[in-house]
Structure 1
Amino acid sequence: MQALILAGGRGTDLRPLTVYTPKPVVPLVNRPLLYYQIELLKRVGVTDVTLSINYQPDKINTIFGDGSDLGMNIRYVTEANDFGSAGAYKNAGLDPERPTIVLKSGIVTNLILAKVIKKHTRTNAAATICTTNKPSEHTSPFVEIDSGSNVIAIHENAQSVPETSRPLSAMLAGVYILAPEVLSRVPDECRFSLEYDLLSTLLNEKSAVTAFDLDEFYWTYISTPSTYLKAHQDFLAGKVKNFEIERLKMMDIAVTTFIDEKSVIDKDCVIKPNVIILNSVIGEGVHIEAGVSIKDSVIWSHSRISDNSEIRGSILARSTYVGKDVSVSEGSVLGDKTSLPDHTRV
């Protein structure tokens, strides 16, 4: 089995965080977002992974390379034209003799892929699609499912599902397993979506499409700064099982500083006296001066927070500078290299 991760989007809804950082490598608890998907694949022995990329591809390649450091074999396909998600699948140069796990790069889940693979193999389906009824800001098609977990129709949204079928309907969750023969169903040089066009083609041909309900697992789709921050809070609250988090790495920390047991601090940070850090993630090389208070926030690497500033429920991207006695209020999102002068209120 092989895998394809669809990572070609520009992540515009996540701006300003994605102006200089492609969404697939935006840090999530101080690791690139794609790390969590690659780890899921590695756990089931799928080591051949293709990344379909487009926006700032070199930055993604620089981080993951050929995958050998992770025990993986990673190759890259840069999308010269936008042929849709199924077009990316068609043009990824995949082995036509092997089934393919397809993942959308915005999802975060602790799904046990072995269970999905087992169902796909047992049902001999052309496609096995993961579905969810978890609340999400992300817009994704809904599918009608019969009592035997067979997909019988696809709809644009929940409202377009016939009322009698809604109890068994669910949203596509961005995880698919496609049999080798499915590759030939995608036309050449044509915009073709996986969610609408390809699945509809399979259903019209009466090919078996089966659903796997992943609601027993954690799942979210990171599409906006608020969902990005919420994913961090879920990790810190222990809702995302089966991923190891190293909470306190080597740093220069004052004795009179308080960091709660939930917070995650990356390496090479300097934290001066009388700092309070609660339920937050601090990136590599962040410098925090005396008297700073940080709560429910995410601060990317190499930022600097000056004396007596307060940050609440906010995201500060890479190399942000916060002056003295600054207040950054809940919901604030600061892009890379933002500079806030002393006494600023945001």
Structure 2
Amino acid sequence: MKAVVMAGGEGSRLRPLTIGRPKPMVPLVDKPVLGHILELLKYHGITEIVITLQYLPSVIQDFYGDGSTLGLNITYVVEEMPLGTAGGVKNAAAHLNDTFLVISGDALTDFNLQAAVQHHLTIGALATIAVYPVPNPLEYGTVVSDENGRITQFLEKPDWSAVRSDRVNTGIYVLEPAVLDFIPDGTAYDFSSELFPALLQGGERLQAYVAEGYWCDVGTIGEYMRASADLISGKVWLPQPMGETVPAAAFPPSGPDAGGGAATLIEGTRPRGDLILGADVEIAADARIIGPVYLGNAVKVKEGVTIQGPCVVRDYTIVDRYSRLENCVVWRNTYIGETCELLGAIVCRQCSLKSGTIAYEDVVIGDNCVLDENCVVHPDVKLWPNKRIEPGAVVRESIIWGSRGRRSLFGGAGVSGVVNVDITPEFAAKLGSSLGATLPRGSYVVINRDSHRSSRMLIRALMSGLSSAGVDVWDLGEVPVPVARHFIRTHASAAAGVHVRLSPLDQRVVDIRFMNGQGLDQSRASERSVERSFSREDFRRAFLDEVGQIDYPADPTEGYIESFLASVDQDRIRATAPHVNPQIVVDTSHGLCGDTLSTILNLLEVDYLPLNGPMMGALRDQFRHQLQHMAKIMGVLTAGVGVKLDVDGERVFLIDEKGVVLDDLTAALLLLELAMYANPGAKVALPAVLPRAFETVVDRYGGHIVSTQNDLRDLMRAADEDVLFATDGAGHFIFPDLQPVSDGLLATVRLLEYLGPRQAAVSEIVAGLPHFFMAHHRVDCPWETKGTVMRLLNQSYQGDGVVTIDGLKIHFGAEEWVHIGPNPEQPLFEIRAEAADPERATALVKEHGDQLLQWIVATDI
């Protein structure tokens, strides 16, 4: 006997679950809905299967093939246009020469199909319809029959006044081939609304078979959740078990066969209800599981997690520490970050929910979505696939088209994300293609990276994307960022640069940073061009002989060192007799600049002590721990100054001869004092949010200030040839006579150059700097409220004492000011204040923070 499985449904009511997959392929616990139907057919001895397809047919064909792996013989019939339920079966008429079964591929049931067939054959009807009693028949087609089961009437979705039966049409039929003669060829035709009423009117015998067992039409999100819960609760009889079932009394199991054959179940809180396990499951000791719960293959449940059933967590998903899952479904290859809460939600395939994210009841998060930290998704919201929600966003409406709720691809550190979670090789290749599409064919992109193997993996993928767009690559390998920037500036054919590194803030995160043809950070406009290409997948593909080539320049540091030495006063550095030994202690943070800086210091005959040189491929120690350790060393030695560079060679942190770590603002003020002392009347570039002490120092030496935004990119643009020095007060120092970029190596040597003529200890110079008192505060603000708050700010503060740069800077007399600006990457406002004493500065940020909160709350209401 043959069965026709109707699997052409699009499943519009199940969106976004059915975006990219036909309705029968929606995963239901351990397999697609269609998989459960095929297993049921096989169990009842029906192995000759005809599957009718229409929407995304290749998805089903590729997944099941000819059916041989399931012990079935599957034939596919594809509809060129939608033909309806009956029309689709008529389209398969060539394969149907005997009594056959018709069943829907998008319902879940455990009916005795052989009993239905036997009932049909015994009665001798033209068609037998399996009917099932339901509590609320209003959403179904109801079937009315006499005492012998002969059908007398069909009612399609009746209201209560018309209801005459609670038995509904399940979409399971046993038919004789003669039925096909009543179905027109090549046109849309439906069983329940057209064929069966016509047969009934023509006097044909139609029989009702009252089925027993379980049946659910998986047609809505609610029914999908119910079917998932019923499957793991044991309400559905299954031909094959979904995994190893561990009852409450047996958890944690012991012995080699515990938990699906290879699960690691550590002693912890005993679950209540059944726990169904795939293979290689790992459950932490203090995880709390209340069944029924299904955990698929290789699922990892971390410390402090609570899972309260009914819950389904499919294969290769990670539930990170202290998260809580209740009555939810999570598909495969998904990451649930720390302290997340899923309360009645569905999370589809390959999603990443960062720490602190909350998704409420009836939320559906489509495939490949990324929700950054502390997002809140309100009930009934649907996120279509491939959406990215910015940190702290509150999503109250479904997101279907566009990028609403999605952060920019680029942040302050470039393109950042967790290695092999957010930033995968596929992502990097696509990013390379996107950059290449914005550049002329045959132009060069200069790439370099740090020494970690994750960066090497991603840079290779990125190079393949660039080459596919017909762009050539200069691979500098592992060199400091200032060296790479110099190489770009000194090679006219270089159109852009890319640097890949592990983030200095989080070793799980990688940063991909883009530079323009001048070695400066890429402009916002250029970033938007790359992002448009990325989001639209608007890539340029090169022909066979136009694919970009990859070249490896010989020692790019040589040209950098030559230019470097030409930009400093070598005679002054060599002529300055060291009054301490060593002159300087240098810590390069296991970064790439150690060898280059050592070469420069040796050529300048500087007496130095190196610490934490390059460490190939290893994870770096904690930066702040290294800084404190260096301070202790400085307290013991008689060195003149300590300099710690970050791993990229761009930022500098200073320690005086007594082992005191200078805060970032004091270090910046010290470099400014030294530079202005050596070059009176010079012009410097400074952000508007720095303390008035910086103005005092510049005025002391008759200099001039170019005010910039509190943004390194803007600072680089302002650092033209007329500018002596620029700093952001956060460890970045720019000396444009070499190149207008932050260069920690040059800042280190310039420090020595400027200290020589002063003939004073660093601590003495610092003691003579102008005093300042600053306070800093952050106020959380939803993304959608930021614009309103900025409008209220501008309306409330106007006049001569207000400067609109990087937000709003409000002056209160000669000594006090407050700066309020929206953080470009996070849902919050930054408030900075300066006053004559720390108490007053703190009071100012609190006062204005409270005002912001009032506006935010009022706007949110």
Secondary structure of 1:8's counterpart equals: coil
The answer for the alignment partner of 1:74 in structure 2 is 74
Matches within 5 A, 1:127-142: 127-135=127-135, 139-142=139-142
- Pairing 1:47–2:47 present: yes
> In structure 2, do the counterparts of structure 1 residues 275 and 138 end up closer, same or farther at CA, with 3 Å as the change threshold?
farther
The answer for the alignment partner of 2:296 in structure 1 is 266
- Measure how far apart 1:149 and its partner are: 0.5
> In structure 2, do the counterparts of structure 1 residues 136 and 161 end up closer, same or farther at CA, with 3 Å as the change threshold?
closer
The answer for the alignment partner of 1:333 in structure 2 is 364
- Pairing 1:188–2:185 present: yes
**In 1, Cα distance between the equivalents of 2:227 and 2:186?**
37
**In 1, Cα distance between the equivalents of 2:300 and 2:238?**
30
**In 1, Cα distance between the equivalents of 2:191 and 2:230?**
29
Question: Which shifted more, 259-268 or 305-314?
Answer: 259-268
The answer for the alignment partner of 1:90 in structure 2 is 90
Question: Which shifted more, 304-313 or 85-94?
Answer: 85-94
What per-residue deviation string (whole Å, max 9, x for no partner) do you get for residues 175-233 of structure 1? Answer: 1010121111112123221112211232123221100112x311111111111011111
Please tell me whether the aligned partners of residues 161 and 169 of structure 1 are also in contact (alpha carbons under 8 angstroms).
no
Please tell me whether the aligned partners of residues 236 and 263 of structure 1 are also in contact (alpha carbons under 8 angstroms).
yes
Match of 2:207 among 193, 206, 210: 210
**In 2, Cα distance between the equivalents of 1:18 and 1:257?**
32
Aligned AA (2:318): H
Question: Which shifted more, 204-213 or 249-258?
Answer: 249-258
Secondary structure of 1:76's counterpart equals: strand
- Measure how far apart 1:169 and its partner are: 5.8
- Measure how far apart 1:81 and its partner are: 1.6
Aligned AA (1:149): G
Please tell me whether the aligned partners of residues 142 and 161 of structure 1 are also in contact (alpha carbons under 8 angstroms).
no
Question: Which shifted more, 86-95 or 1-10?
Answer: 86-95
What per-residue deviation string (whole Å, max 9, x for no partner) do you get for residues 267-317 of structure 1? Answer: 122222111222111111111211111111100011101111111111000
Match of 1:248 among 277, 294, 318: 277
> In structure 2, do the counterparts of structure 1 residues 205 and 274 end up closer, same or farther at CA, with 3 Å as the change threshold?
same
Please tell me whether the aligned partners of residues 145 and 169 of structure 1 are also in contact (alpha carbons under 8 angstroms).
no
Question: Which shifted more, 238-247 or 71-80?
Answer: 238-247
What per-residue deviation string (whole Å, max 9, x for no partner) do you get for residues 12-34 of structure 1? Answer: 10001111222111110121100
Please tell me whether the aligned partners of residues 344 and 361 of structure 2 are also in contact (alpha carbons under 8 angstroms).
yes
The answer for the alignment partner of 2:268 in structure 1 is none
The answer for the alignment partner of 2:217 in structure 1 is 221
> In structure 2, do the counterparts of structure 1 residues 137 and 344 end up closer, same or farther at CA, with 3 Å as the change threshold?
farther
Secondary structure of 1:97's counterpart equals: coil
Secondary structure of 2:51's counterpart equals: strand
Aligned AA (1:14): L
**In 2, Cα distance between the equivalents of 1:151 and 1:2?**
24
> In structure 2, do the counterparts of structure 1 residues 317 and 169 end up closer, same or farther at CA, with 3 Å as the change threshold?
closer
Aligned AA (1:122): T
What per-residue deviation string (whole Å, max 9, x for no partner) do you get for residues 88-110 of structure 1? Answer: 01101443421111112221111
**In 2, Cα distance between the equivalents of 1:81 and 1:203?**
28
**In 2, Cα distance between the equivalents of 1:265 and 1:137?**
34
- Measure how far apart 1:261 and its partner are: 4.3
Secondary structure of 1:175's counterpart equals: strand
- Measure how far apart 1:253 and its partner are: 3.0
The answer for the alignment partner of 1:178 in structure 2 is 175
**In 2, Cα distance between the equivalents of 1:289 and 1:194?**
48
Matches within 5 A, 1:100-115: 100-115=100-115
Aligned AA (1:181): A
- Measure how far apart 1:161 and its partner are: 8.3
Secondary structure of 1:24's counterpart equals: helix
Question: Which shifted more, 230-239 or 311-320?
Answer: 230-239
- Measure how far apart 1:75 and its partner are: 1.4
The answer for the alignment partner of 1:58 in structure 2 is 58
- Measure how far apart 1:251 and its partner are: 2.4
Secondary structure of 1:20's counterpart equals: coil
Aligned AA (2:8): G
What are the ranges of 5 or more consecutive residues in structure 2 without an aligned counterpart?
244-275, 378-861
**In 2, Cα distance between the equivalents of 1:93 and 1:149?**
28
The answer for the alignment partner of 2:334 in structure 1 is 303
**In 2, Cα distance between the equivalents of 1:67 and 1:183?**
26
- Measure how far apart 1:138 and its partner are: 8.3
The answer for the alignment partner of 1:231 in structure 2 is 227
**In 1, Cα distance between the equivalents of 2:162 and 2:304?**
59
The answer for the alignment partner of 2:147 in structure 1 is 147
Aligned AA (2:304): N
Question: Which shifted more, 217-226 or 251-260?
Answer: 251-260
The answer for the alignment partner of 2:23 in structure 1 is 23
> In structure 2, do the counterparts of structure 1 residues 137 and 148 end up closer, same or farther at CA, with 3 Å as the change threshold?
closer
**In 2, Cα distance between the equivalents of 1:135 and 1:31?**
28
Question: Which shifted more, 100-109 or 311-320?
Answer: 100-109
**In 1, Cα distance between the equivalents of 2:96 and 2:35?**
26
**In 1, Cα distance between the equivalents of 2:59 and 2:95?**
26
**In 2, Cα distance between the equivalents of 1:117 and 1:299?**
37
What per-residue deviation string (whole Å, max 9, x for no partner) do you get for residues 133-160 of structure 1? Answer: 2146884322221111000122223349
Aligned AA (1:324): S
Match of 2:344 among 287, 310, 313: 313
- Measure how far apart 1:115 and its partner are: 1.2
Aligned AA (1:205): G
Aligned AA (1:190): T
> In structure 2, do the counterparts of structure 1 residues 143 and 259 end up closer, same or farther at CA, with 3 Å as the change threshold?
same
Please tell me whether the aligned partners of residues 293 and 310 of structure 1 are also in contact (alpha carbons under 8 angstroms).
yes
Please tell me whether the aligned partners of residues 136 and 221 of structure 1 are also in contact (alpha carbons under 8 angstroms).
no
Please tell me whether the aligned partners of residues 323 and 341 of structure 1 are also in contact (alpha carbons under 8 angstroms).
yes
The alignment covers a number of residue pairs equal to 342
Please tell me whether the aligned partners of residues 4 and 49 of structure 2 are also in contact (alpha carbons under 8 angstroms).
yes
Aligned AA (1:270): K
TM-score of the aligned structures, taking structure 1 as reference length = 0.93
Secondary structure of 2:350's counterpart equals: coil
Question: Which shifted more, 305-314 or 149-158?
Answer: 149-158
- Measure how far apart 1:37 and its partner are: 1.0
**In 2, Cα distance between the equivalents of 1:227 and 1:185?**
33
Please tell me whether the aligned partners of residues 301 and 319 of structure 1 are also in contact (alpha carbons under 8 angstroms).
yes
> In structure 2, do the counterparts of structure 1 residues 16 and 49 end up closer, same or farther at CA, with 3 Å as the change threshold?
same
The answer for the alignment partner of 1:123 in structure 2 is 123
Secondary structure of 1:158's counterpart equals: coil
**In 1, Cα distance between the equivalents of 2:77 and 2:140?**
25
> In structure 2, do the counterparts of structure 1 residues 21 and 286 end up closer, same or farther at CA, with 3 Å as the change threshold?
same
**In 2, Cα distance between the equivalents of 1:155 and 1:273?**
54
Identity of aligned residues (%): 30
TM-score of the aligned structures, taking structure 2 as reference length = 0.39
Please tell me whether the aligned partners of residues 108 and 221 of structure 1 are also in contact (alpha carbons under 8 angstroms).
yes
Please tell me whether the aligned partners of residues 135 and 166 of structure 2 are also in contact (alpha carbons under 8 angstroms).
no
Match of 1:287 among 318, 321, 326: 318
Please tell me whether the aligned partners of residues 138 and 223 of structure 1 are also in contact (alpha carbons under 8 angstroms).
no
Which is richer in helix? 2
**In 2, Cα distance between the equivalents of 1:147 and 1:84?**
31
Question: Which shifted more, 98-107 or 9-18?
Answer: 98-107
**In 2, Cα distance between the equivalents of 1:3 and 1:277?**
40
> In structure 2, do the counterparts of structure 1 residues 137 and 224 end up closer, same or farther at CA, with 3 Å as the change threshold?
farther
Secondary structure of 1:228's counterpart equals: helix
**In 2, Cα distance between the equivalents of 1:176 and 1:217?**
16
Output the aligned Cα RMSD.
1.9
